[in-house]
Structure 1
Amino acid sequence: MSVARLPTEGADSGPKWAKMDIPLALSFSDEDKIGTIQPHNDALVITFRIGGYDMKRVMVDQGSAAEIIYPDLYKGLNLRPDDLIAYDSPLVSFDGKTIIPRGQIRLPVQAGSEVVEVNFIVVDAYSPYTTIVARTWLHALEAVSSTLHQKMKYPSGVRIEEIVGSQSTARQCLVAAILH
């Protein structure tokens, strides 16, 4: 919530200032499409910090309930099998295959100025993405994402912050997935 001060009329001493809570609005407009190639059907692929490192090729999937880490990131963060917590539920991949996860790990994710602890499921499967973040992460940030606008917005203190996606990276990931 942001706070605005609005003038009010005082009976004896002129204008006074009243505090008013004005909610921040998370919205997208045509201006948010500036810099994107339109029309498109690209996924929202962003960069953020995880475990203290900048991670590229992060897909934002608001249709999923599970945050996923793939082998490249797992190895790149120097994680070990004993860092993992057991995770026994099988997952179904994009191509319909059942995947048995290696385990789960909790890691700090920094988006802009906000840091959120996220439980990632570690899977041994090919992906052009380093990780997939889903509704759990979006909800923790109170974020709204838009693939059309190639942006994600979230409240941070008294302002709205945004993360801009990379259409070129999204397209590279799509080609890599097709070729695989």
Structure 2
Amino acid sequence: MNRVLSSLLGLCAALTTGCTIDAPDFTGKSCAAAADCPSSHSCVAARPGEGRTCELLQPPGVTPTEDGPVPTWCKDVQPILAASCVDSCHGEVTDGSGKTDFRLDRYETVGAVAGAKDRASRIQARAFELPSMPPSYYDVQPTEEQRAILDRWARGGAPFCDDVANPVDGGTPDSGTPDGGAPDSGR
């Protein structure tokens, strides 16, 4: 009896303190602190004034080296997103989604509108981990191979065109120099 009572008290304490149970698609859910997200996610403020959401720390999936080189935005990813995501939902026209805070027809963030690079972990989660996008009623669906390409691209650092050797790190451009753009040491 004491064990049952202890278990019930523990459950009640967990529920009243905001403890969460891992949900299948926790990405994008509102949160106040890391404890509000499952261990695979982090509570972050993606954009000022929009509150905090749970985002994947490191999306699960295949590692970039398992199936060849890391896909790039220009060669591999942009054509998939253009065919499956941009038409009337996540491009210039957003009638199908109503989402105006990001666009998947561009790589970089412009102003307050996030581009695909900044949404790479979300693209990976929605297209590969728990394939909820595009919605099943949408006529054009990416193939399993295309979904795997999106996964490998996100896990490989979301490289732009030929920068696979130097994955995009979200920092300042390095001007293509092997030293990462460090000032000339006077050699």
TM-score normalised per structure 2: 0.27
Structure showing the higher helix proportion among its residues: 2
| Larger strand proportion of the pair | 1
Higher RCO structure (Cα 8 Å, ≥6 apart): 1
Question: TM-score under structure 1 normalisation?
Answer: 0.28
